[in-house]
């Protein structure tokens, strides 16, 4: 079955960067875009960015432009999202989610990665 498995929780200091991985299985890796969505504690969902695995083309929400970098590795079927210049407001659970081809939505989600930014 389709699975997205993310890397584990991390704690970072303000100003640092974090790189989260999202390893996929169960489908053709380059057929579906991958989204990144985050959720701060007690808050709602926030769309961050989208990447096409293999092409490494994508785009991000205006609020993350210049801070988010996405890459992919077709040999390991893994997508990466790096967020730089972290502040305490970046403390959140970060999800990768597969784009439903033709559905303009996210059909399968990773389990989430908790990132805590604290001095």
Partner 1 sequence: QSALTQPPSVSGSPGQSVTISCTATTSDVGAFNHFSWYQQPPHTTPKLLIYEVTQRPSGVPDRFSGSKSGNTASLTISGLQAEDEADYYCTSVTNSATWVFGGGTKLTVL
Task: By CB under 8 A, name the one of 24, 83, 95, 117 that touches partner 1.
Answer: 95
The nearest distance, CB 15 to partner 1, in angstroms, is 27
Measured from the CB atom, is 89 or 119 closer to partner 1?
89
Mark the segment that binds partner 1 (CB under 8 A) among 14-22, 23-31, 79-87, 98-106: 98-106
100 binds partner 1 (CB under 8 A): yes
d(CA 17, CA 86): 6
Nearer to partner 1 by Cβ, of 58 and 72: the residue is 58
Nearest CB to partner 1, comparing residues 11 and 100: 100
63 phi and psi angles, rounded to 5 deg: -70, -15
Longest dimension (CA), the chain: 43
DSSP string for 43-111: --EEEEEEEETTTTEEEE-GGGTTTEEEEEETTTTEEEEEE-S--GGG-EEEEEEEE-TTTSSEEEE--
**21 to 60: interface string for partner 1, x by CB under 8 A:** --------------x-x------xxxx--x--------xx
Q: Which residue's CB is nearer to partner 1, number 46 or number 73?
A: 46
């Amino acid at each position: 079955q389709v699975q997205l498995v993310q890397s584990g929780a991390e704690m970072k200091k303000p100003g640092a960067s974090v790189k989260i991985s999202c390893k996929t299985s169960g489908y053709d890796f380059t057929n579906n875009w991958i989204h990144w969505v985050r959720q701060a504690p007690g808050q709602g969902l926030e769309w961050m960015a989208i990447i096409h695995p293999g092409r490494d083309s994508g785009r991000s929400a205006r609020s993350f432009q210049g801070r988010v970098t996405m890459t992919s590795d077709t040999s390991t079927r893994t997508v990466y999202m790096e967020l730089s210049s972290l502040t305490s407001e970046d403390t959140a659970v970060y999800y990768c989610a597969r784009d439903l081809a033709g559905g303009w939505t996210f059909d399968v989600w990773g389990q989430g990665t908790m990132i805590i930014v604290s001095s």
